């Protein structure tokens, strides 16, 4: 019901054209005289801020989701029939990934158009320097990271915000993910020199910060910042385009083997696993966020205007309660206490009502989402300060779950969940899927059928004019309904395939060799090409460069050893290396003044120094240990300036495990320093 104006009851007349349809807009006949448009309260109050002579056009035309393939105004008009409320499904299910199901139905007359929007996108994150005219296959898995995006947006007080979000949010998320691509897909062997150079210039600390940050937190941060930017974009665009109302947002992102669900509003996502309902989101309504809203009102009372209070009462105090004691709750309280009612307590609570009827500033029934920047309460108090675009993000690790064909994700606007519980939705889907056998040619439509059944259950049947009932006789929803039913198994298979390609290219398959020829578990990561890159990164980022090569006489040399066998002095130049970086070299270096006793203890560790093959094996083990430590320490995150230690300020850094006698006396390892040989049995060099 519309409020009365100062002159009298507002009367409505219709008229505007959009996309070939006759659209309805409220124009009062009164305060400004006949023919002068005046917005109704509160949904259209924001239009009062726009000059009458200035006509703003929509940034994006109204349409239904692109995967429905509506190509004419007649199709859109049919989907908006409030009397029939037809259930719409895609004409071609191949337009959705993994034969996912989608269905929608318009409201029963609550608004002229279906204010829900939905979108699906398959996207790929590219390394900027690898984009070219060549196909993705030419770069293999090393060059790109695929992901799949589903979004549902439930509009209110207009279609503008929902249409804007469905057309733009996925682009913003893409930009945010590209910003952290070096973390999600770190450059390894096989990447171009441009990538290595870019990472080196930005510092090793780029993907090794002081505080360890998980990939999950980076993706969550990308979603959170994208939601914020989307809301700010709507705030800016509303000055140039016609963007009415607001919307909730529910996004499902499949990336790196996990499902990320970001929710801002009262739409909901539920995973059906083992025929059990696993909630992947929480509803954000005035009821669920009562505490947050009241605390904000208490901290900033100026936002309340003259008609609202941050206090909460067990019942609304009235005039006759003045001076009496009733139960109340302040913003800092979770329990209840008694308070003597004063005149200030007769104001309207900032959150008024209970359950689905609760409202913020007696105006809006949702607390998170996009838009509503110009929405005002009855006394012109802005509502937006109490609303938030921050999403709650929940994660499901699909790769660590035992997933089968019956496991899926249900996404729906509140029109579905108003009359259908999570458990009832899972039961409905299970029953629908059971109608399709494994050898049935129509099996690929099973998820579409499940989505259709969910919409049918909440929409119900028309009993009489504008009265809809569910199958069990309860009142059905009169709101717009949009539903996705998304299987999880196909994504898991896709990711496993991509992961195997990625691992194969980067040589991360471990080779379980016998103990005679391995040090721990060796893998292709110890290949000369990768070692060269690792050493280059270290060398370019150390405060002063180190020149290092290894003495050897043996002809059976590991590929990790320098090509030339002639000795080259090991030199350092005022390098300050901390204890963490010392671990990189501790298995390959020793002091130039090792005592005889220490040397004897070292030689005692070699089971048979006279056996040439075993000595070479020990040598190879030390070499591999050296490189493995180099690479491991580089990857766990020490910055260039932290790779320094006071313990290696000696001018003679010696690589003892790599030395052997030049006279083929392999039974007595030599350690050569600057102008010194510390082996008693060595007579001449």
pLDDT tens sequence across 217-276 = 999 999 999 999 999 999 999 999 999 999 999 999 999 999 999 999 999 999 999 889
356-379: average pLDDT: 92
The answer, yes or no, to whether residue 679 has pLDDT greater than 90, is no
Secondary element (H or E) of residue 676: strand 676-677
Distance (Å, rounded) from C-alpha 319 to C-alpha 397?
56
Residue 644 to residue 544: CA distance in whole angstroms? 10
- The span from the CA of 277 to the CA of 407, in Å, is 10
Residue 502 pLDDT: 80
Arithmetic mean of pLDDT, 380-384? 93
Of 502, 498, 406, 508, the C-alpha closest to 148 is: 498
Domain segments of the chain as ranges = 66-284+389-498, 290-365, 513-677
359/365 Cα distance (integer angstroms)? 5
pLDDT at 315 > cutoff 80: yes
* Sequence-distant (≥ 6) Cβ neighbours of residue 134 within 8 angstroms: none
- Tell me the mean pLDDT in the region 432-441: 84
Q: How far apart are CA 374 and CA 661, in angstroms?
A: 84
Q: How confident is the model at residue 128 (pLDDT cuts 50, 70, 90)?
A: low
Give yes or no for residue 205 having a pLDDT over 60.
no
Contact 161, 370 (CB under 8 A): yes
Confidence check: pLDDT of 593 > 60: no
Instruction: Tell me the average pLDDT across 536-550.
Output: 41
Summarize pLDDT for 514-532 with one digit per residue, the tens: 444 333 333 333 344 444 4
What is the average pLDDT across 387-403? 95
Residue 297 has pLDDT above 60, yes or no: yes
Query: Is the pLDDT at 37 greater than 50, yes or no?
Result: no
What does the pLDDT average to over 113-126? Answer: 94
pLDDT at 613: 53
Q: Which 3 state secondary structure label does DSSP give 464?
A: strand
- Could you give the angle at the alpha carbon of 404 between the alpha carbons of 401 and 407, nearest 5°? 80
Average pLDDT in the 492-510 region? Answer: 78
Torsion 557-563-566-571 (CA) sign = negative
Coil, helix or strand at residue 145: strand
pLDDT of the residue at 132: 47
Per-residue H/E/C for 483-533: EEEEECHHHHHHHHHHHHHHHHHCCCCEECCCCCCCCCCEEHHHCHHHHHH
Q: What is the mean pLDDT of residues 356-371?
A: 94
- Among the ranges given (25-29, 133-137, 146-150, 463-467), the one the predictor scored with the smallest mean pLDDT: 25-29
3-state DSSP: the chain helix, strand, coil percent, rounded to 5?
A: 35, 20, 45
Please tell me the predicted confidence (pLDDT) of residue 380. 87
Residues in contact with 660: Cβ distance below 8 Å, sequence separation at least 6, in sequence order: 551, 552, 553, 554, 615, 619, 666, 669, 670
Q: What angle do CA 391, 393, 394 make, to 5 degrees?
A: 150
The stretch 658-664 carries a mean pLDDT of 45
In this predicted structure, the answer to whether residue 639 has a pLDDT above a threshold of 80 is no
What number is the average pLDDT over the span 351-380?
92
Asked whether residue 461 carries a pLDDT value surpassing 70, the answer given is: yes
Average pLDDT over residues 165-190: 87
Place of tokens 């766990």: 636
Of residues 666 and 450, the one with the higher pLDDT is: 450
Instruction: Dihedral sign for Cα 664, 667, 668, 669, please.
Output: positive
More confident residue, 100 or 638: 100
Task: Work out the percent of the chain whose per-residue pLDDT is above 70.
Answer: 60
The CATH code belonging to domain 66-284+389-498 is 3.60.40.10
Per-residue confidence (pLDDT) for residue 17, from 0 to 100? 32
């Amino acid at each position: 019901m519309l409020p009365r104006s100062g002159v009298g009851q507002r009367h409505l007349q219709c008229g505007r054209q959009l996309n070939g349809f006759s659209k309805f807009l409220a124009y009062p006949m009164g305060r400004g005289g006949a023919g002068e448009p005046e917005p109704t309260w509160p949904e259209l109050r924001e239009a009062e801020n726009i000059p009458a002579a200035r006509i703003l056009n929509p940034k994006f035309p109204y349409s239904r989701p692109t995967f429905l393939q509506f190509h004419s105004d007649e199709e859109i008009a049919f989907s908006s029939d409030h009397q029939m409320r037809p259930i719409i499904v895609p004409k071609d299910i191949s337009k959705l990934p993994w034969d996912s199901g989608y269905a929608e139905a318009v409201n029963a007359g609550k608004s002229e158009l279906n204010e829900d929007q939905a979108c699906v996108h398959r996207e790929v994150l590219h390394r900027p320097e690898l984009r070219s005219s060549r196909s993705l296959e030419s770069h293999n898995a090393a060059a790109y990271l695929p992901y799949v995006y589903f979004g549902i947006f439930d509009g209110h007080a207009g279609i503008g915000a929902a249409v804007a979000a469905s057309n733009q949010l996925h682009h913003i998320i893409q930009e945010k993910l590209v910003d952290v691509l070096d973390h999600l897909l770190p450059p390894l062997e096989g990447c171009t020199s441009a990538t290595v150079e870019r990472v080196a210039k930005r510092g090793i600390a780029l993907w090794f910060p002081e505080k360890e940050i998980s990939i999950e937190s980076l993706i969550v941060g990308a979603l959170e910042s994208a939601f914020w930017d989307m809301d700010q974009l709507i705030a800016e665009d509303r000055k140039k385009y016609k963007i009415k109302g607001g919307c909730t947002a529910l996004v499902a992102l499949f990336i790196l083997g996990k499902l990320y669900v970001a929710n801002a509003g009262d739409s909901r996502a539920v995973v059906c696993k083992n025929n059990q309902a696993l909630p992947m989101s929480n509803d954000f309504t005035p009821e669920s966020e009562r505490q947050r809203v009241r605390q904000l009102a208490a901290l900033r009372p100026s936002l309340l205007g003259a008609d609202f209070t941050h206090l909460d009462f067990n019942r609304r105090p009235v005039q006759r309660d003045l001076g009496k004691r009733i139960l109340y709750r302040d913003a800092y309280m979770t329990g209840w206490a008694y308070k003597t009612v004063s005149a200030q307590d007769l104001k309207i609570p900032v959150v008024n009502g209970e359950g689905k009827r609760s409202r913020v500033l007696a105006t809006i029934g949702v607390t998170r989402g996009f838009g509503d920047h110009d929405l005002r309460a009855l006394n012109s108090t802005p509502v937006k300060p109490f609303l938030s675009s921050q999403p709650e993000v929940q994660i499901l690790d699909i790769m660590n779950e035992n997933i089968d064909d019956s496991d899926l994700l249900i996404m729906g606007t509140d029109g579905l969940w108003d009359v259908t519980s999570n458990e009832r939705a899972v039961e409905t889907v299970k029953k629908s899927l059971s109608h399709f056998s494994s050898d049935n040619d129509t099996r690929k439509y099973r998820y579409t059928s499940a989505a259709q059944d969910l919409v049918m259950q909440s929409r119900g049947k028309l009993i009489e004019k504008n009265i809809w009932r569910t199958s069990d006789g309860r009142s059905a929803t009169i709101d717009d309904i949009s539903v996705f039913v998304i299987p999880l198994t196909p994504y898991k298979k896709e990711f496993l395939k991509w992961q195997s390609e990625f691992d194969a290219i980067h040589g991360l398959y471990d080779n379980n060799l016998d103990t005679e020829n391995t040090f721990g578990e060796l893998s292709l990561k110890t290949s000369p090409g990768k070692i060269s890159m690792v050493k280059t990164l270290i060398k370019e980022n150390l405060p002063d460069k180190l020149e290092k090569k290894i003495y050897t006489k043996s002809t059976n040399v590991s590929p990790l050893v320098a090509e030339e066998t002639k000795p080259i002095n090991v030199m350092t130049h005022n390098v300050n290396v901390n204890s963490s970086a010392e671990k990189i070299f501790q298995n390959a270096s020793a002091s130039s003044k090792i005592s005889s006793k220490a040397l004897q203890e070292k030689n005692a560790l070699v089971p048979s120094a006279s056996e040439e093959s075993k000595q070479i094996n020990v040598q190879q083990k030390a070499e591999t240990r050296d490189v493995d430590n180099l690479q491991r320490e580089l990857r766990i995150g020490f910055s260039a300036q932290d790779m320094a230690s006071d313990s290696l300020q000696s001018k003679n850094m010696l690589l003892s495990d790599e030395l052997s006698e030049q006279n083929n006396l392999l039974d007595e390892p030599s350690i050569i320093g600057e102008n010194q040989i510390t082996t008693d049995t060595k007579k001449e060099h």
